[in-house]
Structure 1
Amino acid sequence: MFEFYLRRICAEFLSAFIFDRIKKRELRKKICDKHIFVPREALDSYIPTDVLSKINASSNEDFIQTNKNISINTPPPQHKTHHGFFDFDPDSKNPKSRLNPWGYIRVKNEVHTLAFSLESLLPAIQRGVIGYNDCTDGSEEIILDFCAKHPSFLPVKYPYEIQISPPPHKSEHNKLYKYYEYVLAKIPKGEWFIKLDVDHIYDAKKLYKQFYLPQKAHDLLYLSRINFHIYKDEVFVDKLHEAKDQPLLRNKFVSFLPLMLDGCLIEEMRSKNTNYYRSELCQYHFPYIKQSRKQTLPPEGFIPLSEFKKLGFDTQKIDPKMLEESHILKLYYKFNL
């Protein structure tokens, strides 16, 4: 805590001599921000020993199979919508705990990946809000069915059309950042949330373990990703992306602002954070199944997974088991293709 305040005081002092607001903010971030990478082999050291042994004794598939048996007609016991790794730690029952984040999920026409993506994250995520807009492919029906089976997840239909390109927009309500604000408003202030996407398959065990990394209320966790593509039963990949679009953080001092990128008006999330954590790969991203990006041939820059592995990769950032081609194909074909 002392180090945090020392960095902040130093940043405020030095930025006082700069009058450009953008440069002032950049200097503050450069001084105050602390990026912490936790190697895969060190991640377990953040978890209480008795909890860790129970987590490691279970698999994602154990919980996925159990959660499949939940029926709308036979609702689960009160306060128990599904099971997961969170069952092993009493702290995860605290609504204010980083171990119990809200899933912050947005959907538009993702019928092919939606059901299994949601299923894959259940062993790590106890509750969530699923915002959706302009769905015409059956995604809305899947969301409503999922939330009926798992009532700790709330469906949130955005009542306005979203326009990204080209401007001008009809009104502020038609802009993406307003939609994001609308969904975020359903998450209580001061509670943790994690931004998740439904063209991903999550390794719930690896995901849940990373919830232990933030140590302070102002900390933030980022998830890394690799983009995958399947062509003729062969796996293609691009690279490890140390992205910033899937954060775990507290819903405090969080805002969305409009951002112009390549002629499209998208959103930019801002928050007041200082310590930024990152650890091993815990998900598979399949961006080219989405209807808006649909592509059959491997995209430019993608290489066969076998070639990617020959080139070598950092095993502290990627568990070699995550890159077993047969396992990736088995997961992929659980999508509604």
Structure 2
Amino acid sequence: MYNFLKFYTNLTRTLTVDIGLQKLYKLRKPIKPYAFIRVHNEIKTIDTCFNSFLSCLSGGVIGFNSCTDGTKEYILDFCKKYPQFIPLEYPFDLIPPYDERYKEDIINERYRLDTYYNFVWEKLPKNEWIIKLDADHIWDTEALEDLCRLPVRKRDIVILSRMNVHCQNNIVYVNKINPIVEPGDSWILYNEDIKFDFYRGWEKKRFIAYEILYLPKRHRKIFSILANWHFPIVKSHRSTFNKDEWIPLREFDMKQYIKENKLEGRIPEHMLDENNILENFNKFNLR
């Protein structure tokens, strides 16, 4: 409660919300943000994903490019059914993040990630709340609605965490290195004069390159409870399941991980329930 009061009296710019503190927001009416979505060949997951967050949103823009698996057709049909969403096809192929081609000094900007992101971002309404969403997550709809109660001031930004999981042969696996992550690249924020930039460089002798959203220093960060599962292996271009990188959830010491990473009180028990995860995973179009 002390940190809660410090945050709302502007004595600190960060607030960590646990399950108990989240209850204090229950009487607040949730905002209904607009979705910022980018999709590429995700026909296996997209329908289940969209249905998990649809009721929490006012609408949004769905960017897509170079789709060959029926994702484009799905998006066009979805936007006809839900006209509050705008389909937006990017007409160029993209160089993926971390790609070695980004080492070159001369790269056509149309193939860069930040150009694509800004192409989609510019179609979103200004002076409205925006949530960044991907098409390989499943959200706990009620928990997402609760997260939408957290922004109070326009400079608030809610940082969204995710749990990296995969299911195979009715066994739930979590990523050994990053079972639960909060990298700051998924959020709810107010759309004022901001845009994506391009970053490339070296970290620990590893070349990195990706899009980045620089936020004004006046923004205040709210770190929230876990409300979604991320299923990266289901994507067609990541379909190789390397068991060396994953561990069955039942064998992973999640309590110790939560303690070591100071996540106490922020991971609802039902988000760690194997039957719950399997039930949701089986909603995917895996045929």
TM-score when normalising by structure 1: 0.72
| Largest Rg, 1 or 2 | 1
1:305 aligns with 2:249: yes
Paired position in structure 1 for 2:194: 254
- Decide whether the 8 Å contact of 1:144 with 1:155 is kept in 2: yes
CA change 1:203–1:299 in 2 (3 A) is farther
**Distance between the aligned counterparts of 1:146 and 1:299, measured in 2?**
37
2:74 matched to 1:142?
Answer: yes
Structure 1 segments, 4+ long, off by >6 Å, are: none
Give the corresponding residue for 1:105. 37
Instruction: Answer 1 or 2: which has greater strand percent.
Output: 2
SS in 2 for 1:216: coil
Matched positions, count: 262
Deviations 1:214-264 (A, max 9, x none): 221111001111100112210011322122111110111312111126546
C-alpha deviations, 1:166-209, integer Å up to 9, x for none?
A: 24465211111000001000112211101001110011110111
- Cα gap change, 1:139/1:288 in structure 2, threshold over 3 Å: closer, same or farther? same
Corresponding residue for residue 271 of structure 2: 322
CA contact (8 A) 1:226 1:284 kept: yes
d(CA) in 1 for partners of 2:139, 2:93: 29
Q: Write out per-residue CA displacement over residues 18-63 of structure 1, whole angstroms, 9 at most, x where no aligned residue.
A: xxxxxxxxxxxxxx97221011122121131xx7xxxxxxxxxxxx
> Mind listing any 5+ residue stretches in structure 2 that lack a counterpart?
1-5
Q: Quick one: which amino acid aligns to residue 308 of structure 1?
A: F
Equivalent position of 1:282 in the other structure: 227
Percent identity, please: 35
Letter in structure 2 aligned against 1:150:
Y
Residue in 2 that maps onto 1:333: 282
SS in 2 for 1:277: strand
| Cα distance in 2, alignment partners of residues 255 and 145 from structure 1 | 29
RMSD: 2.3
Distance in structure 2 (CA, Å) of the matches to 1:33 and 1:118: 35
Aligned to 1:73: none
CA distance in 2, matches of 1:327, 1:143: 27
Greater Cα shift, 165-174 or 123-132: 165-174
- 3-state SS, counterpart of residue 260 of structure 1: strand
* Counterpart residue type for residue 40 of structure 1: I
Q: 1:153 aligns with which of 75, 79, 85?
A: 85
Maintained 8 Å contact 1:123/1:205: no
Residue identity in the other structure for 1:44:
K
Superimposed CA distance per residue, residues 112-149 of structure 1 (whole angstroms, 9 cap, x where no aligned partner):
11111111111212311100011111110111111111
2:185 aligned residue (237, 245, 249):
245
Q: Is the 8 A contact 2:33 2:56 kept in 1?
A: no
Q: Distance in 2 between matches of 1:264 and 1:157?
A: 26
Q: Give the AA of the match of 2:222.
A: Y
Per-residue CA deviations over 1:282-312 (Å, capped at 9, x if unaligned) read 0000111112222234351x32211235645
Number of the residue aligned with 2:169: 232
With the length of structure 2 as denominator, give the TM-score of the two structures. Answer: 0.84
1:42 is matched with: 21
Match of 1:24 in 2: none
Give the Cα–Cα distance (whole angstroms) in 2 for the partners of residues 250 and 290 of structure 1: 30
Match of 2:167, SS state, is strand
- Rounded Cα–Cα distance in structure 2 between residues aligned with 1:125 and 1:298: 36
On the 8 A contact 1:231/1:296 being kept in 2, the answer is no
Cα distance between partner residues in 2 of 1:258 and 1:326: 41
